[in-house]
Structures are given as C-alpha cells and as structure tokens.
Amino acid sequence: MWTPSIIVRVDKATKVYQRDSIPVPALHETSVEILAGDFVALVGPSGSGKTTLLNLIGGLDRPTSGRIWVGDQEITSLGRKALAEVRLRHIGFVFQEYNLVPVLSALENVEYVMLLQGVEEALRRTEAMRLLETLGLAGMEHRRPSELSGGQQQRVAVARAIAAKPVIVLPDEPTANLDSQSGATLMDLMRRLNEEQGTTFVFSTHDPMVVERARRVIRLRDGRIEADERRPA
C-alpha cells in the first residue's frame, strides 16, 4: 500500500518569547507531521500558536526547544545562511500583506524567486507566464502591484510562492484583506493547484471559508494542538 511521504515533521517544538524580560509561552511541545499533498488549515483563536507554528515550519523563527525537519533536512540546527537557502529552495510563502515588490511588474514579481535560484531567463519567463494564466491573470503580467486589486495581488503572491516548486507553501491569513468573493476565488484556485499539481499547502487562518475548503484541520488552543481532523477528499 502506498503511503504519502512526510515532508514536514515537527517534534516537541516549544516557543517562548521574551517581552520586557518576561517569558511569554506561545507553543508547548507540539508535534505534527505534514504529508505530501496535504491541504491543511491551522485554526484557533488569537494567541493559540497557529502563526508561531507556521513561522517555525517556514524557518522564519526558531523553536526554543524541539526539532523541525523539512524534507530530510533538519532546519533547527542550521545557521542563518543555510536556513535562508532552505527557504529559497523548498518553502513558498504567501503573506497577509502580499509583500510584492512595488517597482516590479506582476510577471517580474513571479520571476523573482526563480531569479534568485539561478533559473535561466527564458525558462523563468515561460513558467511565470504559465502560472499567471493558470491563476486568471493573463493580460495583467505587466501591471505593477498598485495597478492590481487586492485579490489580484494575492494571486500574484501565490504564483510567486509556487513558481520555485517548493516542498510546501505556507499562506498566513491569505484571505484576511480580501472581500468574500475574492477570498473564495483564491481558495478555489489554491485547492485546484493542490489537486491537479499536488502542491502542499498549510494555512494559518481565522476564516471559516478557508476552514470549509481544507481537507485537514488542525485546531490549536493555548499553544497546544487540541484536534487534528482529516476529511474525505
């Protein structure tokens, strides 16, 4: 029987922040495995630890204790340069505020990570155009972010995240700044990428519409996982 591969493993990760020399626990000995092809929503109230967990998986923060693997690479022991290389090669990010480069066109924003990876110009241009078309942005490739709606900017951010063919894509509250229709369209597009291309997504979200579309829901409270539900495909 075929078993999906584990592409992220979190082993007893704890995160404690210091605020004015006062320890503030955010995550408590959390363990979880993400499988290839998962479409996961991390949900819970503010302060539950979901964004902390997402940032630890993405190598944007380090656990106070515990270990994390992305693929077969343990990232908790890596130096800054090596960790940046893991993020560049294996992890795609979709930020709540889009984080597009304002002076670059939509096409150039999508190409940017591939440029950093050293992908040849013609190849990255072809792939960026294909992704923009897949995400319903054909004809908008030369517009700058200021010339795009919020929903269009977020789709450019998704295209940029998956252009580098990462192991996993981590959207943080991807629908927070979108109206309900734009948010639903974006989620349907990402679900299609998951189903047709096998792209693995792990979301941090408060949005019931995102939770409704997830195939796996991990609920956190007070820095601990209280439920992990898989749904039928």
In the chain, what are the domains?
6-230 (3.40.50.300)
Please report which confidence band the pLDDT of residue 2 belongs to, taking 50, 70 and 90 as the band edges.
Answer: very low
What is the rounded average pLDDT for all residues in the chain?
91
For the chain, percent of residues with pLDDT exceeding 70:
98
pLDDT of residue 1 exceeding 50, the answer is: no
CA 158 to CA 80: how far, in whole Å?
25
Please report which confidence band the pLDDT of residue 54 belongs to, taking 50, 70 and 90 as the band edges.
Answer: very high
Please report which confidence band the pLDDT of residue 214 belongs to, taking 50, 70 and 90 as the band edges.
Answer: very high
For the chain, percent of residues with pLDDT exceeding 90:
70
Burial class (CB in 10 A: 0-12, 13-18, 19+), 89: middle
pLDDT of residue 3 exceeding 70, the answer is: no
CA 167 to CA 50: how far, in whole Å?
20
Quick one: pLDDT at residue 208? Answer: 92
Instruction: Render pLDDT for 21-50 as a digit per residue (tens, 0 to 9).
Output: 889 899 999 999 999 999 999 999 988 999
> CB of 117 within 8 A of CB of 164?
yes
Token readout for 135 is 């995400």
Judged by DSSP in three states, 88 sits in helix
Type of residue at 73: Q
Please report which confidence band the pLDDT of residue 183 belongs to, taking 50, 70 and 90 as the band edges.
Answer: confident
Over residues 129-137, mean pLDDT: 90
CA 29 to CA 66: how far, in whole Å?
7
Alpha-carbon distance values, 27 to 53, 84, 139, 171, 172 (Å): 7, 23, 44, 19, 17
CA 166 to chain centre: 10
Label the pairing between strands 65-70 and 73-74.
Answer: antiparallel
Task: Give the bridge partners for 6, in sequence order.
Answer: 35
Token readout for 6 is 């584990």
CA 233 to CA 216: how far, in whole Å?
10
Please report which confidence band the pLDDT of residue 181 belongs to, taking 50, 70 and 90 as the band edges.
Answer: confident
